[in-house]
Amino acid sequence: MITGDIATKTAFADTVRGTVAQFLQALERLVELQNVYIARGYNPGAADAIVDGDIAASKITAAQLSQVLESAWVVTRIAALMNEQVVSGTIQGNVIMDKVRSDI
């Protein structure tokens, strides 16, 4: 078994804490962006749907943008489920991540 010294383990723990904070901030931002996307009717089939010509300078296509936001929606739903104790006795993942983030 390989063992690390205290400094290495502390650095690892600090990296995990920082990553959790960035992850939760990104999730919160994704929820905001998804809400704007829908509220403004930017989604495919909506009144003001984003098309390739609208975002040509962004180096992403309308289909890619939609796919990214759909994927992000799945991730944010999973995160929302982590707030609920779906099965009795399970750990609420976001409670743990919020605790870690609040200590930063």
pTM: 0.64
Indicate the domain borders of the chain. 6-102
pLDDT digit string, tens, across residues 57-95: 999 999 999 999 888 888 877 777 766 645 455 555 555
Using only C-alpha atoms, the chain has a radius of gyration, in whole angstroms, of 19
Per DSSP, the three-state class of 59 is coil
The pLDDT value recorded for residue 70 is 87
The per-residue pLDDT for range 9-46, each reduced to its tens digit, is: 999 999 998 998 898 888 888 888 988 999 999 999 99
Residue 52: is its pLDDT beyond 90? yes
